[in-house]
A and B are shown apart, each in its own frame.
Chain A
């Protein structure tokens, strides 16, 4: 207890002494973690949008006529599995009833779409995925030209190229975001380390005396380490507050106003993201002070 109060008071005194630097370090930690949060939230919204799209990239739906006989269906299935570009494990049969259930589930907020149905208008179908999303066109061509009982296949649908393009753009966005976050994290580590170096320099005389009277290395190091960790923690808290504000005042409005895009933010995401940001802030702070201690505090 004695030691804890000692470390805490030393840390606090040191932080107050170089307040401007400490604030700068905290701000940079906050910016880097804030950008991380934006990238993660943006990515989540986008992937939710993609998920809510009817078909994903690389997926093909093959609709069967209601007149299809069981042997015909089996022949078609055997044929689909045998196409080299198709992943044989990803060929699934979906009957009309399942399709209707899924439809009701998806539009449960708009019951007027299905409440008054007297019969099931949805067809039996196969959902299949290509091994490589690029082969979708080849496979669609192959099926429409060479499938057995071709007349039983009413329609073949694949994901539109637009989604594929969007996915590419978002992949770039994610890559740039991750590189930016890493670069900013390194800058924040260095800035934290500068504040710790200044703190070490300001107390060099005291450190010399501590060594002289036999203070252990860790006893000398702790207050500096805590100072860095505290800066990182504070930065992460600021980042969390800012990203919470961005979510409430910008993202939620976006989701409400652009409903046709079916944007959404998984509610569980923030419960994972925010603790991760706190841990990230603490790690940045600890690495920054460890770097300064390693280089500038010979004990």
Chain B
């Protein structure tokens, strides 16, 4: 599903964010991308949605080399990749329902389809009863569930989560990851960047560990560190 070949990303000022990263992530996999801040996890994710361009190397998504993707095709790439961020990125003046429906509207789907599917997906994330709430009336965990619902509403084959539990109460963080697991069970490839040791150790998924822009360990059913 995702193939990176010798990918390097250098930011201005000769800052190496990624260095010679080669990795394969198969369809339907669930992978944790772990490492301290500044290890290159966020750059990894930004490269996949073409928010940044690699300095060197090739990136393939579903056998398409996205380096060569025309600019106007980028939105269509992003429709295949759901994204969840630490800061939720919800629109404060829209309700839970509207926030999720928005992702369908901007891709040109009709209100009728949104009316059918949005409540369904919100029920899936456990917020079926809060359609009309506004984001600031929800807890961090609930807001992140809305964001996950929005990322999943168009049924993307890939879901990327960058520190999704970072702003969520630790007691609710497990629930967020279980939700990602549920989405993974439906066939979606999930990559979750995190430095939450406890979560990584609890869920025992594939662990891709990064440090200083390099992959230092790639392990199935792994844990956060060796200690």
Residues of A within 8 A of B (CB): 2-3, 6, 205-206, 208-217, 219
Contacts and interface: CB of A to CB of B under 8 A. Distances in A.
B226 interface: no
Interface string B39-57: 0000000000100000000
B110 interface: yes
A215 B89 contact: no
B91 A205 contact: yes
A297 B91 CA distance: 19
Interface string B69-95: 000100111110001000001010000
Nearest to A218: B72
CB-CB nearest 8 A-B residue pairs: A214-B79, A215-B106, A214-B78, A213-B103, A216-B75, A214-B75, A210-B106, A209-B89
B78 A212 contact: yes
Tell me the interface secondary structure of chain B in the complex: helix
A209 B102 contact: yes
A205 B92 CA distance: 10
Interface residues on B, range: 20 to 34
B105 interface: yes
Interface in B89-140: 89, 91, 102-103, 105-108, 110-111
Contacts of B107: 213-215
B122 to A, nearest CB: 16
A205 B93 CA distance: 12
B125 to A, nearest CB: 16
A211 B78 contact: yes
B91 A209 contact: yes
A115 to B, nearest CB: 76
A206 B78 contact: no
B72 A214 contact: no
Given A2-B110, A205-B91, A206-B91, A213 B76 contact: no
B150 interface: yes
Contacts of A210: 106
Contacts of B49: 212
Contacts of A209: 89, 91, 102
